[in-house]
Amino acid sequence: MPSGTIQYKPTSWREIKKIGYVDKTGVDQYVCKAVAWQRHSEVKLEHEVNLVEVIRAKNPNVEEITEIRITGAYIEGYFSTAGAVGFYWHSRVYIYTAGGRASITVDSDENWKPNSVTINIRVDLNNPVVKITRDLLCDLGYSLYPLGYVEVGQRNFILTVTYEYRGPPPPPEQLTVVVLDQDTFRPISDARVVLTTSVGDVVDMARTDRYGQATLIAPEGEYVVRVSASGYESVRKTVSVPGKYTIYLSKPSLIPPIGLEQLVPIAVVGAIALGGLYLFMKYKAYETIYRKVRALF
């Protein structure tokens, strides 16, 4: 069963909570600041996505999705400060699905490095909507020039989604069969070519053209081909599709085959004849010797 992986980046966030100095600097991009007169700022965003729709939009070969898992997440905070001392922040992401929940956190204790997390949440195919919430909190201690801010939004959050699916059946393949006379190597036209499964179910059949060629259509795999033509003995051969095969037909022998029941009387008669010949030759040898002895007297 085929599988795939996509990277999903939310294109819109819904603002559901805002405290203190929070500024929107672009499309779904926020800056959470902490300054001397506002030591605590906070913003909470939310996003919902139907992963089935996203997968179908990115992979047109998907016919039926059989499994979806969120297998990774990436979150990054952009920190900048101007003389701030004791500036702390953290950005947390919660991922909710019908199959479970996961949380990811990046904060100032990690020196504001990007954080890529391996997770494994199975998405319920009957309810494939995934809800993502992001919290960003900024707290300022003390400073002569107190200012610090963290940027959060769509560009610094990515989900990794792995899925399995059924696609449309593969296109049929061609099998080409060329039928020739075994003695003359000439093409045999109007030969009947039948393609079957190993248990004898007919998949396709055709007749050869004047060049001795026939084309059959079948899904990729192993088959049996049977070839017959008027005045020739039939041939059965195992073949693979796709492929091209040359099959030689021979004409039946003019001397009819002799069965065992016919061979026994012939052997008996032959043995009797050989025995009689032996006795006759032996008699002739004795007669010659007798005549030579009589001539001496």
Distance CA 277, CA 272 (A): 9
291 in any annotated domain: no
User: What are the pLDDT digits (tens) for 90-121?
Assistant: 778 889 988 678 877 766 655 556 677 888 88
Contact 81, 138 (CB under 8 A): no
User: What is the per-residue pLDDT for 276?
Assistant: 61
- Same domain, residue pair 162 and 61: yes
- Same domain, residue pair 68 and 83: yes
Tell whether pTM > 0.75: no
Which range among 36-50, 68-82, 127-141 shows the weakest confidence by mean pLDDT?
68-82
How much of the chain, in percent, has pLDDT values that exceed 90? 39
- Same domain, residue pair 16 and 147: yes
Per-residue confidence at 82, pLDDT binned at 50, 70, 90? very low
How much of the chain, in percent, has pLDDT values that exceed 70? 70
Distances (CA, A) of 130 to 9, 43, 74, 146, 157: 13, 20, 16, 39, 15
Count of domains for the chain: 3
Q: Which domain holds residue 235?
A: 173-249
- Same domain, residue pair 183 and 216: yes
Distance CA 252, CA 237 (A): 19
Which range among 46-60, 93-107, 194-208 shows the weakest confidence by mean pLDDT?
93-107
- Same domain, residue pair 122 and 14: yes
* Boundary (domain end) residue, out of 104, 138, 166: 166
Token pair of 143 as six digits: 């400073």
- Same domain, residue pair 154 and 183: no
296 in any annotated domain: no
- Same domain, residue pair 35 and 157: yes
Paired sense of beta strands 243-249 and 173-181, if any? parallel
Of residues 65 and 272, the one with the higher pLDDT is: 65
Per-residue confidence at 292, pLDDT binned at 50, 70, 90? low
- Same domain, residue pair 41 and 110: yes
SS3 175: strand
Task: Round the average pLDDT of the chain to a whole number and report it.
Answer: 80
Reference 31, options 44, 16, 45, 21; nearest CA is 21
User: What are the pLDDT digits (tens) for 227-280?
Assistant: 999 999 999 999 999 999 999 999 987 666 565 666 566 666 666 666 665 565
Q: Which residues of 128-141 are buried (b: 16+ CB within 10 A; e: fewer)?
A: bebebbbbbbbbbe
- Same domain, residue pair 112 and 145: yes
* Domain CATH for 208: 2.60.40.10
Distances (CA, A) of 176 to 1, 73, 156, 157, 247: 29, 50, 55, 54, 11
208 in any annotated domain: yes
- Same domain, residue pair 97 and 196: no
User: What are the pLDDT digits (tens) for 114-168?
Assistant: 677 888 889 999 999 999 998 888 777 655 455 556 665 555 688 999 999 988 8
Per-residue confidence at 293, pLDDT binned at 50, 70, 90? very low
User: What is the per-residue pLDDT for 66?
Assistant: 94
- Same domain, residue pair 117 and 193: no
Distance CA 221, CA 224 (A): 10
- Same domain, residue pair 161 and 205: no
Of residues 102 and 34, the one with the higher pLDDT is: 102
